[in-house]
Structure 1
Amino acid sequence: MHTPRLSRRPRTAALLTALVTCAALTACAGPAPSAAAPQTTASAPASSSPAPTPKHGQPSSTEESAAPTQVTIPSLKISSSLMRLGLNADGTVEVPPAEKGMTAGWYTGGAVPGRPGPAVLIGHNDTRFGRAVFHDLRDIREGAEVLVRAGDGRPLSFTVTGKETVSKNAFPTERVYGATKGSTLRLVTCDGAFDAEGHPVDNLIVYAEPS
């Protein structure tokens, strides 16, 4: 899975130029982070307001305690702890390592789930080690519940409002990372056919709002 480049500029600009695409993993059958524009039920984020600033470097103690710890999608029987994902040295967004394909991640440059702004969770579809955590995400339906455990242990409930599959070359950055007045959730993975090098050409994005 390769990921979008985030410049070290002020948060709003960084988020709107962020592009998350699946890292180039050899058996990446539709893995993780982001880009996608697709089949439809896509719902754009709520009206905008100042976007939260991307986190660079080590998170503060407050951020540490606020970091979400788990995501569960009952209808798909998906349950995973959440690792923190930041930026690679080249400015691209990190994705979970292939050997941890069954573990999803929370992008720390976005919002904390439950707080204003888009919280982005990234997970692989498949890796060279086989089936991964978001393998069945394409089967999620509008109205499905997504549960995120907050850093303080509180369960946060979100309802899926739409999903879309888009080409990695046309990632809807603003829809995924753009500022929102309230708390929103985006789940991102890879999807679609493979290119000549064996990498998925699309991304699947799931949009959800607080229940």
Structure 2
Amino acid sequence: SYLDVDAPVTGLRLDGGRRLTAPPDDHPNLAGWYEDGPSPGQQGTAVAVGHLDTDSGPAVFAGLTELEPGRLVEVRRADGRTAVYTVDAVREYEKDRFPNREVYGPRGRPELRLITCGGTFNRRTGYSGNVVVFAHLTGIREPVRAAASR
């Protein structure tokens, strides 16, 4: 009972307005990490952004709204380890009232934010809000080693 997102990842940066950019629309299954923040499992707040859907159907973070507190989110790191996070809350915000400090600010422990679109959809302006999953690190799993052959 956890979100299993097996997705390629791209690095994201802030735009001129100091807002986090989204992955390109033509790559619905691409998740984006905020490159200048901590990586999964490190101290601080790691941030990943993904599309809810595109014109072609559900996208990488389509399941985010189904998550509930207590569920697990597993993130495989570049070193092969898996950072395991437990969901604390799933909240929805209107874009013009997005609480940057609450979402991105440090908490004194390793945390994770998963962000996608939410609210109502308008063909011209897109989604009116964002869904944010708040989670904290509860474990790091070592990679499973293949049994040594004799």
Change (3 A) 1:136 1:168: same
Q: Separation in 2 of the partners of 1:106 and 1:205?
A: 14
Unaligned runs of 5+ in 2: 139-150
Aligned residue in 2 for 1:146: 73
Q: Separation in 2 of the partners of 1:136 and 1:146?
A: 12
Unaligned runs of 5+ in 1: 1-73
Amino acid paired to 2:29: M
Amino acid paired to 1:166: Y
TM-score (norm 1): 0.60
Is 2:86 the counterpart of 1:159? yes
Is 2:48 the counterpart of 1:121? yes
Aligned residue in 2 for 1:13: none
Is 2:43 the counterpart of 1:135? no
Aligned residue in 1 for 2:144: none
Aligned residue in 2 for 1:186: 113
Amino acid paired to 1:135: A
Is 2:117 the counterpart of 1:202? no
Amino acid paired to 1:186: R
**How high is the sequence identity, in percent, across the aligned residues?**
36
| DSSP-derived class of the 2:103 partner | helix
Q: Which structure dedicates a bigger proportion of its chain to helix?
A: 1
Amino acid paired to 1:127: T
Deviation of 1:141 after TM superposition, in Å, equals 1.2
Deviation >4 Å, runs of 4+? none
Residue pair 1:148, 1:157 contacting (<8 A) in 2 also: yes
RMSD: 1.8
Deviation of 1:196 after TM superposition, in Å, equals 6.5
Deviation of 1:77 after TM superposition, in Å, equals 4.1
| DSSP-derived class of the 1:176 partner | helix
TM-score (norm 2): 0.83
Residue pair 2:8, 2:29 contacting (<8 A) in 1 also: no
CA offsets 1:4-49 (integer angstroms, 9 cap, x no match): xxxxxxxxxxxxxxxxxxxxxxxxxxxxxxxxxxxxxxxxxxxxxx
Q: Which structure dedicates a bigger proportion of its chain to strand?
A: 2
Amino acid paired to 1:148: V
Amino acid paired to 2:82: P
Between structure 1 and structure 2, the one with the greater Rg is 2
